[in-house]
Amino acid sequence: MSDAAPEPRANMGLPLKRMDARRKVTGEARYAADLPVGNLAYGVLVTSRIARGRIKSFDLGEAHAVPGLLDIFTYENASGLKAQRLGNAATSVMPLNSPQIWYDGQIIALVVANTLEAAEEAAFKLRVDYDAENPSATFDSPGVEVIPALGNTDRHKEDPKVGDAEAAFAAAPVKIDAVYTTPTEHHNAIELFSTTCAWTNDELTVNDPSQFVYGWKNGVARELGIDPAKVRVVAPYVGGAFGSKGPLTPRTAIVALAAKKLNRPIRCVATRDQGFTTVTYRAETRHHIRMGADPTGKILAFLQESEELTSRPDNYVVGGTDTTARMYGYGSVLTKVNLVKADRGTPAYMRSPPEFPYMYALESAMDELAVALKMDPIEFRRKNDTKTEPIKGRPYTSRSLVECYGEAARAFGWEKRDPNIGAMRDGDWLVGWGCATACYPTHTGAATARIRLTSDGLVRIQTAAHDVGTGAYTVIGQMASERLGVPFEKVTAELGDSALPPAPVAGGSNTTASVCSTVLKGCNEIRGKLFAAVASAKGPLAGRGPGDLDLRDGKVVGSDGAAVPFADAFKALGSSVIEEYVEFFPEGGSPDDVRKLYAGQLALRGGSAGEKMMYAFGAELVEVRINARTREIRVPRIVGAFAAGRIMNTRTARSQLMGGMIWGISSALHEKTDVDLHTARYVNRDIAEYHVPVNADIRELTVILVPETDNEVNPAGVKGLGELGNVGTAAAVQSAVYHATGKRIRSIPIRIDDLIGA
């Protein structure tokens, strides 16, 4: 065991190495744009240089003269793809259907040539004349439209509230009132966004890094107006996802349409800067929070009024008040979410879409109120912890927040914290310690799988789930290895292909919960068949009931140690293989969820939607050091303790949480896409100027896995933790900066210039 492979504690699986580790480090794992395809043509996207208006005309003469050019697809010759509803796709705009421009960087043409160089040259020579209008860029820009989320999107079902929060706030003896903002952020996964489309007669194969091959299969078919049975989407490896490859974007069907028209396979790799405008991003948010408490630190009122940016055509919302309104035992709650519509692309998912920005605001406010109360910020959270949510009084299935704070505080040495501002100064360094709560809803969805066990003890699992770098191959294999009593090395898993039985989107941190529950169910069916076979045959286990039997080390074993090797058990069964196709749906669901899954529609359950609250929790404690002379901000150490039900594999779990915390530090100190207010254009559209942390930015990072057993969330008992780690981090850093300097920086990222004069 090591830091990277923590010793399993109660209800945790072994830190087995990733099934795909060797494939990845040797380059054997082929990503979508690596796959060899014969007779390939190359596509290059051309995107709009205005944010609002219309295309007046194209001048394609020079572009068409480039040797090797095959064709140029624009709204003039390639319209007719069917636009989708937001939700079924990342946007309701199908850009080649009209000359209308909704935002800067919108796709306006696909140039296809025999070589990438020719396509790039022709794209460069394509001329566009626009009728441009003045765009609205962001919050407070002239011309934005502000509408309530409630009633304008079915994704925001309520503005949670309880009691008379205004009156309680007015009467509260201790209170704070502040505005917090989070910026535009873009994914910048290492793997670029690519699409390769190849037709064989009327059948289409799409290689595209995707978090949801069934969603894309069905979506592309709808956009093209063809039978989904004719479309196959393949994505066995995905190089960075976290929402950026979740919803279907228009480029896939555009490339498919062009490939059909040219009768050639086409590969199109969006450039790094096109990744800022042709796929999903996190929109800026702004939160007005008022909170009041009694002198003992009991919260009396919590009011959060939030704004999120969205596009003109689509009312996208993340609506994190769903979570924040229920986080603590507040006496009264008032929340509201408004959408601000501007001339921007439709935002979409990015790691912890609602929880990241909304919890940043709440946890920052919690720190401010703790300071106002002269109370330790961890003690303040303990004081207001609750086992039932305050809006409707529903219980959490499990909630180990206080335990997480306890373990994190011990590991961090929190008791040595001097609460006075700047009191922990160390020479030239101003030292601050801060903390915040992490949380993420537990989602479980319907899933299916085919599981095969052979008489020689080999297991194969097939399911169209996705390993987006998270360890899905490994934990899915691990569940089968445990239940079928075969060594992990004997298990293979095939994922990421719509030719396999469907599984949900690799989103909402549901994959481990959903698919491990499915594999568990399928393995139990296989066990039942083997148990029945040995019980009904002659031999040492004849007549035994299933409760007395187990599978271990390639044998059926009885509680007294009597055993029948698989070879004999299969002989008794009269077959050399058992293959189970299994369908699973979570409690509260129905077989209809499976039918919808086949059609590429999602029905994730859990979180705050049901009769009980299902959430994972964590506590993050950070130290920041700010150089007194240069204001350089460092995070020398961070400790996170997390409880997320059953941990399938402590290595992959730690890795996810570590990545989340690094992303959290990144959001606190580095990441921001700047929007030019005049042109509504992203300014820093590359990874030179879009800042992310490098190794030198991350020092001591400790992940503690806190034991927790929750048998209610799903049969696997798994809460999921892919998105848990980056929630709260930014608030913890912000609080630590305050503790070090006395300066409250309520807009992230916090940068050196914010601290000049501090």
Summarize as ranges the residues that interact with ligand MOS (CB under 6 A).
Answer: 211, 241-243, 246, 349-351, 353, 507-508, 723
3-class SS of residue 606: strand
- Sheet of strand 100-101: strand arrangement: 100-101, 53-59, 127-132
**Residue closer to ligand MOS (CB basis): 6 or 243:** 243
CB of 554 to ligand MOS, least distance (A): 38
CB of 510 to ligand MOS, least distance (A): 8
Q: Cα 338 vs. chain centroid, distance in angstroms?
A: 23
**Residue closer to ligand MOS (CB basis): 185 or 343:** 185
CB of 720 to ligand MOS, least distance (A): 10
CB of 359 to ligand MOS, least distance (A): 14
Q: Cα 258 vs. chain centroid, distance in angstroms?
A: 31
**Is 723 among the residues known to form the active site?**
yes
**Residue closer to ligand MOS (CB basis): 350 or 378:** 350
DSSP string, 334-397: EEEEEEEEESSPPP---SSTTHHHHHHHHHHHHHHHHHHHT--HHHHHHHT--SB-TTT-PBBS
Establish whether the linkage from the previous residue to 67 is cis, with ω within 30° of 0: no
**Residue closer to ligand MOS (CB basis): 318 or 621:** 318
Q: Is 80 left (phi over 0), alpha (psi -120 to 50) or beta?
A: left
User: What residues are paired with 606 via a beta bridge?
Assistant: 443
Residue that is written with structure tokens 């077989």 in the block: 591
Catalytic residue among 284, 482, 583, 723: 723
CB of 169 to ligand MOS, least distance (A): 33
Picking from 627, 700, 689, 613, the residue whose alpha carbon sits closest to that of residue 658 is: 700
> Is there a contact between 725 and 355 (Cβ–Cβ < 8 Å)?
no
Residue that is written with structure tokens 């572009």 in the block: 63
Q: Which long-range contacts (CB under 8 A, 24 or more apart) does 690-697 make?
A: 690/186, 690/188, 691/666, 691/749, 692/188, 692/666, 693/662, 693/665, 693/666, 693/669, 697/635, 697/665, 697/669, 697/670
- Alpha carbon distances (Å) from 638 to 147, 379, 417, 677, 699: 39, 19, 15, 36, 8
> Is there a contact between 676 and 137 (Cβ–Cβ < 8 Å)?
yes
CB of 349 to ligand MOS, least distance (A): 3
**Residue closer to ligand MOS (CB basis): 432 or 507:** 507
The residue whose Cβ lies closest to ligand MOS is 243
**Residue closer to ligand MOS (CB basis): 506 or 740:** 506
**Residue closer to ligand MOS (CB basis): 583 or 723:** 723
Picking from 29, 8, 15, the residue whose alpha carbon sits closest to that of residue 471 is: 15
**Residue closer to ligand MOS (CB basis): 241 or 713:** 241
Q: What CA–CA distance (Å, rounded) separates 340 from 276?
A: 20
Alpha helices (H) along 413-468: none
Q: Which two tokens stand for residue 55?
A: 């295309």
CB of 263 to ligand MOS, least distance (A): 35
> Is there a contact between 494 and 476 (Cβ–Cβ < 8 Å)?
no
Q: What CA–CA distance (Å, rounded) separates 266 from 37?
A: 9
- The values of phi and psi at residue 555, to 5°, are -140, 155
CB of 240 to ligand MOS, least distance (A): 11
**Residue closer to ligand MOS (CB basis): 243 or 432:** 243
CB of 90 to ligand MOS, least distance (A): 12
Q: Which residues are catalytic?
A: 723
